[in-house]
């Protein structure tokens, strides 16, 4: 089955940033194939392409209509960006490599699910959290072999922490940012709506701490050591149908790209990184070797903290 990986980048500058981010932030760490899709009853019309759930989440939405960065106040909404699952429906996705239960991941989270939940803006267009919408739930199951399934009762698929595409953008910017978030870095799964109420967009971005948001799943909750398959479904008696954008394999916490500790990521840090090229002393992505992926991490944070 063909893998859907086309995600619009919004121009050459954004494309450059996203090329670095793809390398740095796990370009192959997303669901890669559709095993089964049953759309179910009464889904949102027009959102019937299951390929929308493959590859990374959207960073920019609304092209040709109302273009905007994807932010907690501006979730993805185009038919090629999300797939709707109706009552009694389900989608089963497969990863190229097993997702491991890794306690070294931030918060112990192993999988991250992205939907199209959003936050209500109480001070439009400035971005002030006044509530949430489209936090519609959905049942999450995981499997190592595609035969034995384990329900993750602790979370719903379309959860509270909406997608954040860029760390340097406003809530509705009509052009992509230059600093992409990390879609494989979990946000704090203990956050609840009261923790978010009253926060402005800048404070919310800081609370995400580099993450792109999403609903976190710890495989330990399901009692399995690894998962190659994820099934997301909507019971017939559920209160809402749902929409899904992507599923990611969470990464271990990255080392800070501020390698010399001066509070800025710049040429001095690049020099430190290059001096350690091929070794492991300045490894930023946790794979044990300083290479192009680490360079991508550093460039994605350029002139940041």
How far is 247 from 252, CA to CA, in rounded Å? 16
pLDDT at 7: 36
> What percent of the chain shows pLDDT beyond 90?
73
**Residue 111 confidence (pLDDT) above 50:** yes
pLDDT at 21: 40
Residues with Cβ < 8 Å from 255, sequence gap 6 or more?
283, 284, 286
The predicted-structure confidence for 204-259, as pLDDT tens digits, reads as follows: 999 999 899 999 999 999 999 999 999 999 999 999 999 999 999 998 876 788 88
How far, in whole angstroms, is CA 36 from its chain's centroid? 22
pLDDT at 286: 67
**Residue 288 confidence (pLDDT) above 80:** no
**Residue 12 confidence (pLDDT) above 50:** no
Over the chain, what is the mean pLDDT? 89
* Mean pLDDT computed over 124-145: 98
Q: What angle do CA 264, 270, 274 make, to 5 degrees?
A: 155
The predicted-structure confidence for 121-131, as pLDDT tens digits, reads as follows: 999 999 999 99
pLDDT at 17: 39
- Sorted by where each begins, the domain ranges of the chain are 12-252, 254-305
The predicted-structure confidence for 85-106, as pLDDT tens digits, reads as follows: 999 999 999 999 999 999 989 9
CA dihedral 90, 50, 161, 27 (to 10 degrees): 130
> What percent of the chain shows pLDDT beyond 70?
89
Look at domain 254-305 and name its CATH class.
Answer: mainly alpha
**Residue 1 confidence (pLDDT) above 50:** no
- Which of 57-61, 77-81, 287-291, 293-297 has the weakest average pLDDT? 287-291
**Residue 83 confidence (pLDDT) above 50:** yes
How far is 159 from 242, CA to CA, in rounded Å? 10
How far is 42 from 154, CA to CA, in rounded Å? 26
CB-neighbour burial class of residue 264 (10 A; exposed 0-12, middle 13-18, buried 19+): middle
How far is 258 from 302, CA to CA, in rounded Å? 9
The predicted-structure confidence for 146-184, as pLDDT tens digits, reads as follows: 999 999 999 999 999 999 999 999 999 999 998 899 999
How far is 165 from 205, CA to CA, in rounded Å? 10
């Amino acid at each position: 089955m063909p893998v859907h990986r086309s995600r619009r980048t919004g121009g050459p500058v954004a494309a450059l940033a996203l090329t670095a981010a793809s390398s740095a932030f796990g370009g192959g760490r997303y669901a890669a194939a559709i095993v089964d899709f049953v759309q179910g009853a009464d889904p949102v019309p027009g959102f019937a392409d299951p390929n929308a759930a493959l590859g990374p989440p959207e960073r920019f939405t609304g092209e040709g209509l109302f273009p905007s960065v994807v932010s907690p106040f501006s979730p993805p909404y185009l038919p090629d960006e999300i797939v709707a699952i109706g009552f009694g429906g389900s989608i089963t996705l497969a990863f190229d490599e097993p997702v491991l239960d890794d306690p070294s991941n931030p918060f112990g989270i192993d999988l991250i699910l992205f939907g199209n939940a959003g936050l209500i803006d109480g001070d439009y267009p400035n971005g002030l959290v006044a509530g949430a919408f489209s936090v519609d739930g959905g049942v999450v199951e995981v499997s190592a072999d595609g035969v034995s399934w384990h329900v993750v009762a602790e979370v719903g698929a379309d959860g509270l922490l909406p997608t954040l595409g860029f760390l340097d953008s406003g809530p509705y910017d009509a052009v992509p940012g230059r600093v992409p978030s990390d879609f494989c870095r979990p946000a704090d799964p203990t956050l609840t709506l009261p923790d978010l109420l009253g926060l402005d967009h800048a404070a919310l971005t800081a609370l995400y701490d580099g993450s792109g948001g999403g609903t976190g799943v710890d495989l330990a909750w399901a009692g399995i050591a690894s998962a190659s398959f994820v099934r997301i479904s909507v019971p017939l008696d559920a209160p809402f149908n749902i929409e899904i954008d992507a599923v990611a394999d969470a990464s271990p916490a990255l080392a800070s790209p501020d390698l010399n500790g001066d509070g800025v990521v710049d040429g001095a840090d690049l020099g430190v990184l290059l001096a350690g090229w091929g070794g492991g002393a300045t490894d930023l992505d946790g794979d044990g070797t300083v290479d192009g992926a680490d360079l991508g991490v550093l460039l994605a944070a350029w002139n940041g903290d």
